[in-house]
A and B are shown apart, each in its own frame.
Chain A
Amino acid sequence: MSNPQQLRYSKEHEWLSAAEDGVATVGITEFAASSLGDVVYAQLPAVGDTVTAGESCGELESTKSVSDLYAPVTGEVVEANQDVVDDPSLVNSAPFEGGWLFKVKITDEPDELLSADEYTAFTAG
Chain B
Amino acid sequence: MTDAPRRTALDALHRTLGATMTDFAGWDMPLRYGSERDEHVAVRTRAGLFDLSHMGEITLTGPQAGQALDFALVGNLSALAVGRARYTMICEAGGGILDDLIVYRLAEQEYMVVANASNAQVVLDALTERAAGFETEVRDDRENYALLAVQGPEAPGILKSLTDADLDGLKYYAGLPGTVAGVPALIARTGYTGEDGFELFVAPGDAERLWRALTDAGTDAGLVPCGLSCRDTLRLEAGMPLYGHELTTATTPFDAGLGRVVKFDKTTNDGDFTGREALTAAAERAATNPPRKLVGLIAEGRRVPRAGFSVVADGAVVGEVTSGAPSPTLGKPIAIAYVDAAHAAPGTKGVSVDIRGSHEPYEVVALPFYKRER
Known: A40-B326, A63-B229. A92 touches B304 (CB 8 A): no
Q: Which residues of B contact A63 (CB under 8 A)?
A: 36-37, 229, 233, 325-326
B304:A37 contact, CB within 8 angstroms: no
A61 to B303: give the CA distance in the assembly, Å: 8
Q: What 0/1 pattern do residues 48 to 60 of A give for CB contact below 8 A with B?
A: 0000000000010
* Interface hits, A23-52 → B, CB 8 Å: 34, 37-38, 40-41, 43
Q: With the chains together, A68 CA to B32 CA distance in Å?
A: 22
Partner of B36, one of A37, A41, A66: A37
Q: How far apart sit A4 and B325, CA to CA, in the bound complex (Å)?
A: 33
* B306 at the binding interface (Cβ < 8 Å): yes
> Across the interface, which residues of B come within 8 angstroms of A64, CB to CB?
31, 36, 229, 232, 325
Q: B229 and A37: CB pair below 8 A? A: yes
Q: Is B35 an interface residue (CB 8 A)?
A: yes
Whether the Cβ atoms of A38 and B302 lie closer than 8 Å is: no
Residues of B within 8 A of A66 (CB): 304, 306, 356
| Chain A 61-74 per-residue mask, 1 if CB under 8 angstroms from chain B, else 0 | 10110100000000
Which of A37, A41, A64: most chain B CB closer than 10 A?
A64
Q: Which residues of A contact B325 (CB under 8 A)?
A: 63-64
Whether A92 and B35, one on each chain, are in contact in the complex, defined by CB atoms closer than 8 angstroms, is: yes
Q: Please name all residues of chain B whose beta carbon is closer than 8 Å to the beta carbon of A43 when the two chains form the complex.
A: 303
The answer for the CA separation of A31 and B124 in the assembled complex, in Å, is 41
> CA separation between A61 and B232, bound complex, in Å?
16
- Closest Cβ neighbor of A42 among chain B residues: B302
Hey, what's the 0/1 contact readout for B34-52 against A, CB within 8 Å counting as 1?
Answer: 0111000000000000000
What is the CB-to-nearest-CB distance from B146 to chain A, in angstroms, rounded to a whole number?
25
Q: How far is the CB of A58 from chain B (nearest CB, A)?
A: 12
Candidates B35, B232, B306, B356; contact of A38 at CB < 8 Å:
B35
For residue B37, which residue of chain A has the nearest CB?
A38
Given A63-B229, A63-B325: A37 and B306 interface contact (C-beta under 8 Å): no
Partner of A40, one of B229, B304, B306: B304
- Distance, CA A1 to CA B179, complexed state (A): 42
Contact A38 B36 (CB under 8 A): yes
Nearest B-chain residue to A63, judged by Cβ: B36
What does the 1/0 interface line of B206-243 toward A look like (CB < 8 Å)?
00000000000000000000000100110000000000
Q: Chain A residues near B31 (CB, 8 Å)?
A: 37, 64
Of residues 59 through 107 on chain B, the ones whose CB sits less than 8 Å from some CB of chain A are none
- Alpha-carbon distance A46/B235, docked complex (angstroms): 36
Q: Are A61 and B304 in contact (CB under 8 A)?
A: yes
Q: Which residues of A contact B356 (CB under 8 A)?
A: 59, 66
CB of A84, distance to nearest CB on chain B (Å): 12
Looking at the assembled complex, report how far the CB atom of B371 sits from the nearest CB atom of chain A, in whole angstroms.
Answer: 22
* Inter-chain contacts of B32 with A (CB < 8 A): 37
CA of A64 to CA of B230 in the docked complex: distance in angstroms? 10
A92 nearest in chain B by CB position: B35
How far, in angstroms, from A43 to B356 measured CA to CA in the complex?
A: 13
Closest beta carbon of chain A to B274's beta carbon, Å? 35
| Chain B contacts for A37, CB-based, 8 A | 20, 31-32, 35-36, 229
- With both chains docked as a complex, state the minimum distance between the C-beta of A44 and any C-beta of chain B, in angstroms: 13
Q: What is the CA–CA distance of A66 and B304 in the complex, to the nearest angstrom? A: 8
B133 to chain A, nearest CB (A): 44
- Give Cα distance in the complex from A34 to B20, angstroms: 9
Could you write out 9 A-B pairs with CB less than 8 Å apart? A37-B32, A37-B35, A37-B36, A40-B302, A41-B302, A41-B303, A61-B304, A63-B325, A66-B306
A interface residues with partner B (beta carbon < 8 Å) = 34, 37-38, 40-41, 43, 59, 61, 63-64, 66, 92
Known: A40-B333, A61-B303, A64-B325. 8 other contacts (CB 8 A): A38-B35, A43-B303, A61-B326, A63-B325, A63-B326, A64-B232, A66-B356, A92-B35
Chain A to chain B: the 4 pairs with minimum beta-carbon distance, closest first? A40-B326, A38-B37, A41-B302, A61-B304
